[in-house]
Structure 1
């Protein structure tokens, strides 16, 4: 006597087009979760950078001279004396004050005392580039304290903005970044391969350096929560869809 056997029937949710749907939903879910953790990683990097900045502010200022190795002072407080080369001032466009008012930053070469070399100093925010070189000229010798920063070279991307002179101008008076090698072409003294972000001296006069302790963590946490929320919506929504399909006869 022969007995017949029948293979178990595969559920429709594990066949054909449904498998493709499962894979698509899984890819979307994993992608959203990955983006959320990526933003959390960026938040951790931002917090580490803020902690490093605060640590640098707590260290004694290092005297800056032409003989100083830039690698030893980048990110540290430095102090330097000299005379501003006011006629060679430029501005950094698209800057805001601590209170959120649009304006520019004034960038002036400082001729280092007893040297033929200079260093660029970001002196802080002013409301307009109009007449900046003369309106905020300082002719007396000064001592500047600030944070040494690496040059901001233009990214190697066709989408990155270029620093170009305006029509009718022979030099670039407004820059997007502190591109020391490029700015060197219109400064009469050799520039150190760094620039100084001047620290506030307690005065309310212009230019107004930004508050170095005014740090934020950026939007990374809110972005992470958004990606995780989207992942939750996709997960719950897909489970609801499967339940509906299972209830169909």
Structure 2
């Protein structure tokens, strides 16, 4: 009953369904990969963000060579800000608002220079492309607690003087003229002594993994439903063929029945019996009288 599935048309439908299902599986797997990456980031936030600060002496290697599992780890360091080489980083949105971030090197007593991101500033109204004011960093020795963040890649776009397109530590090092640690920078949490005015602090990262699991299940379901739909169509085709065969057999049986048992209207009328009926007698009498 299902021999029609070997026809070219149905094999073509099967190939199309297989291709579409494979795409659905790929999209579902992509969503699962995104979920795994987000869950890893969430794990780093949960494990590291509110941990006790680690002295720089113990975490120095994390700035030289970034370790993704230690992202957001608070590190305590003491030094002096190089305010002459402070920079503004462009195109840094925060909570749907466009703005900038302020970065400045912190020179430690051992000669190491760590870049500190002091926070966010909104777009200014006085001059296009610049914030209205930049809160000054504390002068003299300052103790900073900053969370580890990875260096950002270079962007293929320029920036006005005193600004950076991204926190590209190699480019920043070229501008300041001395060595900066290249693996990571610090996102400021606290400063001591604390200045009267500081840039806006970045909010704690969200620990919501988003709808990626739901999207992945939907893509897998779509891939499965394609085969269900193909099976349903094949079942309907088989039923249609079966009904067509039954109708053909019924037509043949009807023809044979009609041939064997014709309808009364089609049967041969019996011949009128010969004999001396009243009509024959009247005809004979008329003939004899010459009518």
TM-score (norm 1): 0.74
CA 1:140–1:95: 2 relative to 1, 3 Å: same
Q: Deviations over 1:134-188 (max 9, x none)?
A: 622224232221212232234xxxxxx41423xxx4x46132x321112111113
- Structure with the larger helix share: 2
Cross-structure match for 2:287: none
Matched, 1:146 2:143: no
CA 1:212–1:199: 2 relative to 1, 3 Å: farther
How far does residue 25 in structure 1 lie from its aligned partner after superposition? 0.5
Cross-structure match for 2:6: 14
CA 1:22–1:116: 2 relative to 1, 3 Å: same
Matched, 1:162 2:177: no
Which of 97, 115, 118 is residue 120 of structure 1 equivalent to? Answer: 115
| Consecutive unaligned residues in structure 1, runs of 5 or more | 1-8, 155-160
CA 1:217–1:10: 2 relative to 1, 3 Å: closer
Contact 2:89 2:101 in 1 (8 A): yes
Q: Deviations over 1:77-132 (max 9, x none)?
A: 201122322332223333232x43222222222222x2444211112221127555
- Residue-pair matches, total: 228
Q: Deviations over 1:178-203 (max 9, x none)?
A: 21112111113321122001226799
| Consecutive unaligned residues in structure 2, runs of 5 or more | 242-291
How far does residue 237 in structure 1 lie from its aligned partner after superposition? 3.9
How far does residue 63 in structure 1 lie from its aligned partner after superposition? 2.0
How far does residue 55 in structure 1 lie from its aligned partner after superposition? 1.0
SS in structure 2 at match of 1:192: coil
Paired with 1:110 and 1:132, the residues of 2 have a C-alpha distance of 22
Q: Which moved more, 1:33-42 or 1:127-136?
A: 127-136
Q: Which moved more, 1:190-199 or 1:100-109?
A: 100-109
Matched, 1:137 2:136: yes
Give runs of aligned pairs for residues 203-222 of structure 1, distance below 5 A: 206-222=198-214
Matched, 1:78 2:78: no
Matched, 1:57 2:57: no
SS in structure 2 at match of 1:19: helix
How far does residue 243 in structure 1 lie from its aligned partner after superposition? 4.1
Which of 171, 193, 196 is residue 182 of structure 1 equivalent to? Answer: 171
Larger Rg: 2
SS in structure 1 at match of 2:34: helix
